[in-house]
């Protein structure tokens, strides 16, 4: 699935099943909540914290998808074409950081 197709599919779902988009500020709050849930899983899976008894360990992909879903909702609501935005962002980072990381001694093995 392309990013454009994902934006279209989320929009179709919202219009048919979700009734309407939550307002932008509500979706921003939901995005922060979903990022927090992703962070919680990452900290337990890759950090020093452990999972609690009975806690699911295999939901990392689902939490990432939740973050992407709400981000797509916000993009759709605000008229952002994520395909174009991502391409511009990659170009910006390429121009800005073309030598930055290769010259960073902290990244050398």
Domain ranges of the chain: 3-107
**Closest Cα partner for 45 from 57, 29, 30?**
57
**What pTM value is reported for the model?**
0.89
CATH number for the domain formed by residue range(s) 3-107: 1.10.287.1080
From first to last of its 109 residues, the chain has per-residue pLDDT tens of 999 999 999 999 999 999 999 999 999 999 999 999 999 999 999 999 999 898 887 899 999 999 999 999 999 999 999 999 999 999 999 999 888 888 888 988 7
Distance between CA atoms of 99 and 109, rounded to whole angstroms?
17
Give one word for 19, left, alpha or beta, with left for phi > 0 and alpha for psi -120 to 50. left
Alpha helices for the chain (secondary structure H): 3-16, 24-46, 60-78, 82-96
Q: How many residues in the chain?
A: 109
């Amino acid at each position: 699935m392309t990013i454009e197709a994902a934006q279209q599919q989320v929009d179709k779902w919202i219009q048919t099943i979700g009734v309407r988009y939550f307002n932008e500020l509500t979706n921003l709050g939901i995005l922060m909540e979903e990022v927090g849930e992703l962070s919680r899983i990452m900290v337990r899976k890759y950090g020093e914290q452990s999972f609690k008894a009975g806690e699911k360990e295999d939901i990392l992909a689902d939490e990432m998808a939740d973050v992407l879903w709400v981000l797509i909702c916000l993009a759709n609501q605000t008229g952002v074409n994520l395909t174009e935005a991502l391409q511009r962002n990659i170009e910006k980072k390429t121009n800005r950081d073309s030598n930055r990381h290769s010259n960073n001694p902290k990244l050398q093995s």
